[in-house]
Amino acid sequence: MKKTFFKMTMGLGNMVLAAQQVQARTCAPREDVVKRLVETYGETRRGLGIARQGAVMEVYASDQTGSWTIAVTLPDGMTCLIATGQAYEEMAEALPPNV
């Protein structure tokens, strides 16, 4: 029983450490993130919105490559990448009529 508990504890500890390392790689000061998106991927900001607790959500995309990134900047200035992908298309759909 003690061996099983020890293994479970070690496994949980490893998962926590891995999660912290992933977060460290996907979050950085906003200035650094924006610079990399512009210089490496040719992406520019296409939209933004205010999220909970004062966070700002931004969408970046490139017309040339079609790559896109969703980033969230926290009030402390740290920006975290939330999602990335390909085949970005800008759309301007008309609002549906009032029913």
Tell whether 90 is covered by a domain.
no
Indicate the average pLDDT of the chain. 81
Tell whether 76 is covered by a domain.
yes
How many CB atoms are closer than 10 A to CB 59?
17
Q: List, for residues 1-35, the tens digit of each pLDDT value.
A: 555 444 444 443 444 333 344 444 589 999 999 99
Tell whether 94 is covered by a domain.
no
% pLDDT > 90, the chain: 61
Tell whether 8 is covered by a domain.
yes
44-50 and 27-29 strand pairing? unpaired
- Domain housing 36: 2-85
How far is Cα 19 from Cα 41, in angstroms, rounded to an integer? 26
- The count of structural domains within the chain is 1
Tell whether 91 is covered by a domain.
no
> Which residue type does 28 have?
A
pTM: 0.69
Tell whether 98 is covered by a domain.
no
